[in-house]
Amino acid sequence: MNLRKLARGKECQIRIGGICNGDSETTVLSHYRLSGLCGTGMKPPDQIGAFACSDCHDAVDGRRQTQYPYEHLRLWHAEGVFRTQNELIKLGAL
């Protein structure tokens, strides 16, 4: 199953307060970058991704400046991955 395509229209699972736009039309799969699982020209597996609205995705990827420390963004992204995995299990995709 293509998890990137499946992300379209889904609720954002990262949910950064004051940033999340709540627009499921902008949702994509936001890959969680982890040493050993990604590198130059290599994305992590799709199973290690979170459904993310465009604004949350930009924040966790560093394309958008926020008032939040990097560590908080990483935690919220990881929690989003867990919530996304739960949704994928419910859909029978994992």
Condensed to tens digits (0 to 9), the pLDDT of residues 11-67 reads 999 999 999 999 999 999 999 987 666 667 777 888 999 999 999 999 999 999 999
Beta carbons within 10 angstroms of residue 71's beta carbon: 8
Q: Which listed residue (31, 57, 72, 77) is catalytic?
A: 31
31 is catalytic: yes
Beta carbons within 10 angstroms of residue 22's beta carbon: 12
- Residue 85, pLDDT above cutoff 70: yes
pLDDT given at position 33? 86
Q: Which two tokens stand for residue 32?
A: 């969680």
pLDDT band at 94 (very low <50, low <70, confident <90, very high): confident
CATH class of 3-34+43-91: alpha beta
Of residues 71 and 34, the one with the higher pLDDT is: 71
Average pLDDT rounded to a whole number, residues 74-86: 97
Average pLDDT rounded to a whole number, residues 57-78: 96
pLDDT given at position 1? 84
